[in-house]
Chains A and B, each alone.
Chain A
Amino acid sequence: MASLGIDVLFKGTNFLRLLQGLWVSIEISLISVVLSIFLGLVVGVLMTVNNKILHAFLKVYLETVRIMPQMVLLFIVYFGTTRVFGWDMSAESSAIFVFTFWGTAEMGDLVRGSIKSIPIIQFESAWALGMDKLQTYFYIILPQTVRRLIPLSINLITRMIKTTSLVMMIGIVEVLKVAQQIIEANRKTSPNAAFGVFLVVFLLYFIVCWPISRLAAYLEKRWA
């Protein structure tokens, strides 16, 4: 059997570099996910508010995010804004901005759906006890929303982690970019490296995403 080309990773600091690249991906997705969860909760609650203007505005936001490929958003923010608005954003900040912009919209929509799935009479039950709107949301509705949200948002979170592979297009050296660099640097000595290295990258993504789905399954069971 031909060599799988995994041996390349044991040369010099190659594997360490790959892990450093992975950390860049994780860092960008982690910050974006955390920001998206908090902003998404706010946006989701706003989406349930009965206000036509707010409703239309959020609808446009959500649809824009859904229609626009993430890569186009990345290009607009990183390359576009620098000259037009004079914003000097680093590639990492641009990536976090775009991923949060995307994540907030999608998370907001999931939050909206989860809130809507809670029966009105749960609100009424809280109101009948003298709770005001804020207390009702804080103690009754949001805790139940979060429980319903977990399995839905895990899908979004893993998608966000996977999509960070796009950020190499704006020059960020994340795991996939490092993998490419290693493969190209060893093209002569290990022509098969593309298979082995990308296989390892696949495994690394798996190692990151799998525990998240397990956690979701565990929480879903515990809160069922």
Chain B
Amino acid sequence: MSELLKVTHLHKEFGPNVVLKDINLSVKKGEVVVIIGPSGCGKSTFLRCLNGLEEIQSGVITVDGLPVEAGKRDITKLRQKIGMVFQSYELFPHKTVLENIILAPTKVQKRTREDAVKEALELLDKVDLVDKKDYYPRQLSGGQKQRVAIVRALLMHPEVILFDEVTAALDPEMVHEVLETMLALAKAGSTMLIVTHEMEFAKAIADRIIFLDKGDIVEETEDVKGFFAEPETERAKKFLKTFAYE
């Protein structure tokens, strides 16, 4: 069993506020882990720790056996193994769709422009955006921007991709197209860590569910259907109830 990502005793605080306490997690290659929990429970911060966007106070994070340490020189090499898609897309507004996608592969990984463009167009085709390749981000809808952001992350050939509430800023009719893209990725065997508030989607895509509350892993299970039907802990039950209307 190949362990791709390992987190041991992760502890993170912002000043006096403890955000994550003693988190332990290990993710296998090809696994899709969905992290859910109430707002402010630390799930986004957790993702940001994994690629060194946040410094941690103690604990160890390794990707492919290499330690992730914010502020270290090697962090840029590690980040190439860890793709990230943000809630607010964060495309580069002064670059076209195609330029957004091929920038890091050509400048960071020093791939040839031809090679990067060829693969970019293939991937854009898969998300039905090839005709938008010369558009600027401001000319795209939210859903289109987010699919471009996913393609941009994919072109770096990351070992694992982090999705930080990627549909939270989208209009409802655009959520679907983005989630479809992610489902296709999961089917193709990508390793993914997803933070989301879309419970139906979580149920459909997850190999494992992690319920985080107040900086703590409260419940963790590979019985995804079971979790949504009848979670073990009271806190998870209470949380899931907030999504139900009767």
Enumerate chain A interface residues (CB-CB to B < 8 A). Answer: 121-122, 124-132, 135, 139-140, 143-144, 147, 223
Q: How far is the CB of A6 from chain B (nearest CB, A)?
A: 48
Q: Are B103 and A130 in contact (CB under 8 A)?
A: no
Which stretch from B55-63, B84-92, B171-179, B181-189 is at the chain A interface? B84-92
Q: Are A127 and B79 in contact (CB under 8 A)?
A: yes
With A and B bound together, what is the CA distance between A126 and B77 in angstroms? 13
Whether B65 sits at the interface, judged by CB under 8 Å, is no
Q: Are B92 and A122 in contact (CB under 8 A)?
A: yes
**Chain A residues in 8 Å Cβ range of B77:** 130
Count class of interface residues, chain B: 20 to 34
**Chain B residues in 8 Å Cβ range of A121:** 86, 88, 90
Known: A128-B51, A130-B79, A131-B108. A143 touches B94 (CB 8 A): yes
Which residue in chain A gives the minimum CB-CB distance to B52?
A127
Q: Are B103 and A139 in contact (CB under 8 A)?
A: yes
Q: Are A223 and B152 in contact (CB under 8 A)?
A: no
With A and B bound together, what is the CA distance between A125 and B152 in angstroms? 11
Q: How far is the CB of A134 from chain B (nearest CB, A)?
A: 10
Which residue in chain B gives the minimum CB-CB distance to A146?
B94
| Interface residue ranges of B59-118 to A (CB < 8 Å) | 76-77, 79-80, 82-84, 86, 88, 90-94, 103-104, 107-109
Q: A129-B79, A129-B80, A129-B104 are in contact. List 9 more A-B contacts (CB 8 A).
A: A128-B86, A130-B104, A130-B108, A131-B76, A131-B107, A131-B108, A139-B92, A139-B103, A147-B94
Q: Are B53 and A128 in contact (CB under 8 A)?
A: yes
Q: Are A125 and B90 in contact (CB under 8 A)?
A: yes
Q: How far is the CB of B55 from chain A (nearest CB, A)?
A: 13
Known: A135-B107, A135-B108. A128 touches B94 (CB 8 A): no
**Chain B residues in 8 Å Cβ range of A139:** 92, 103, 107
**Chain B residues in 8 Å Cβ range of A223:** 94
